[in-house]
Amino acid sequence: MKKTILISALLLATFFLQAQDKSSRAFDFGKWTRIHSAVLQELNRSYVDSLPIGRLVQSGIDAMLSQLDPYTVFVPEDRNEDFEMMISNTYGGIGAVIYKPDKQGNVIINEPYENAPAHRYGLRCGDEIMAIDGVSVHGLDTKACSDRMKGKPGTSVVFHVKDVRTGGEKDITVVRERIHLPDIEYSGMVDDTTGYALLTGFTEGVSKELAARIKALKAQGMKQFVLDLRGNGGGLMHEAVDIVGLFVPKGTVVVTARGSSAEAVQTYATSSEPLDTALPLIVLVDSASASSSEIVAGSLQDLDRATIMGARTFGKGLVQSVRPLPFGAQLKVTIAKYYTPSGRCVQAIDYSRRNEDGSVGHIPDSLTHAFKTAHGRTVRDGGGITPDVTLKGHEYSRLTYSLVVHGVTEQYVLDYVRRHESIAPLADFHFTDADYEDFITFAKNKEFDYRSGALAQFDQMRATLAKDGLEEQMSAQLDALHKALEMDKETFLRLKKTEIVPILEEEIAVRYYFQPAGVQVRLRYDTALREALRSPKISY
């Protein structure tokens, strides 16, 4: 009897505490809503100058949401198209990457997408657009030109074009279409028994496409499969669940989403018969693999169904939903955290504790919790998926970054395309020693920061010494060190040849054979993939 009374009292106390909490939240919400409205009304009545009400309120909303998490954002109506592109990889347009090195110059077709309108209507890499619908592009920046090229599918746009080969001018009318950038950039056999697919997103239908690609690879003799999620920032959760469902029994729990209340819990399990529950799997990840990529990698790891290889993932264990707002605006709001089958959440403990690339910083084990996989292996929460096998990613020198950032490689590739109507078939195409000498001649006459990382740090140190008044008394030592570190542009370009050639090879291949060719060239030099194929795998 006493026990029953005690339980009843505890339940009653819990009920009153919950009711009190809800009442307090309702009061605070009403209070601050009224204050916010009163502030705007008073500003509108009393402020001395004209009131930029739209900019003022939007700044306030953005500042308010920034106090929550990086993924809850307000999307005004005029940004809906960009938002759609971000979440669905689709837009209305002609299907081409453009390049405008000079605001007063022409728009250059840098890369038409295979079978997109730009490609089908005859626009080629290197063609120069001089006018769009009769309006000169001179004086317009890249965004303004891009906006004019995009539009509602089914509408037409007229380009006045200078041909890359003949130099002649002509008008080309292109009918816009709904352009969807593929989530699977490439799939193929990387050796006699290993199939490979590079997955760059999780938009609608990608699981079905991946299933078809896997069936095709099995028909070519695939005995093991590599799913490359490196650089994949995520997308639709249900597509991640369906991809896991290709490899595990029907009804397997893949992920659980938990919202702000005990009732707001959803469990997502596979709903279709699997494609193959025994096919050996390798999943490649890196610090840019996030969200749905982490659901796939984390669940397959927890289920001991795949060997996860690479670097620790980004650490985004949050679920977003897009909610409509008045006047065509939208709110992308975080509604839950997700948990992999072992019960762990991959969300980083601290949003601010990040590396320069945005990935999770070091988190001591004392701040994390241990969980067990299906076969009893220990995995931890607190920030991303730690791979079963760590692989070293490719690191580029400061020189190579500078060549790309300053557009030197891009300019050279366009120049190469103008001078070469065709290249060898992809399997035979290689950037030769003579080609690289040609690149050096081109690049050494371009303006870019070619200092080594060591020399850049030296310059920073010298500036600090000057600020502290120590440079003059150390000038002899500093001059000697500077002389030792200094390297002329041509010498440095020759030194980094093996690092730069693969980038040029890939970019040139894309211009002639489209995006899948670029991935194929990249795989030639993918040391992490080769190491993954040599590494021991976990037993399923």
Q: Which two tokens stand for residue 278?
A: 């025994």
Q: Coil, strand, or helix at residue 13?
A: helix
Q: Tell me if 313 sits within 8 A of 294, measured CB to CB.
A: yes
164, 125 Cβ separation under 8 angstroms: yes
Residue 310, number of CB atoms within 10 A of its CB:
27
| Rounded Cα–Cα distance for residues 406 and 423 (Å) | 26
Q: Is 207 in the active site?
A: no
Number of Cβ atoms within 10 Å of the Cβ of 396: 14
Rounded CA separation 75/3 (Å): 54
Bridge partners of 129, per DSSP, are: 107, 161
Q: Which of 187, 207, 287, 291 is catalytic?
A: 291
Residue at token pair 């399990």? 269
User: What is the H or E stretch that residue 268 is in?
Assistant: strand 265-269
Is there a contact between 345 and 294 (Cβ–Cβ < 8 Å)?
no
- 291 as an active site residue: the answer is yes
Task: Say if CB 531 and CB 391 are below 8 A apart.
Answer: yes
Structure tokens of 48? Answer: 């001395």
The active-site residue, picked from 316, 342, 359, 496, is 316
Q: Which one-letter DSSP state was computed for residue 202?
A: B
- Dihedral-angle region of residue 134 (phi above 0 means left; psi in -120 to 50 means alpha; beta otherwise): left
Determine whether 484 is exposed, middle or buried from the number of CB atoms within 10 Å of its CB (0-12, 13-18, 19+): exposed
User: Smallest Cα–Cα separation from 507: which of 125, 95, 114?
Assistant: 125
Instruction: Please answer whether residues 278 and 304 qualify as being in contact, where contact means their C-beta atoms are separated by less than 8 angstroms.
Output: no
Beta strands per DSSP E along 64-222:
73-75, 90-93, 96-99, 107-112, 128-132, 135-136, 156-162, 169-175, 177-180, 184-189, 194-199
Q: Which residues are known to be catalytic? A: 291, 316
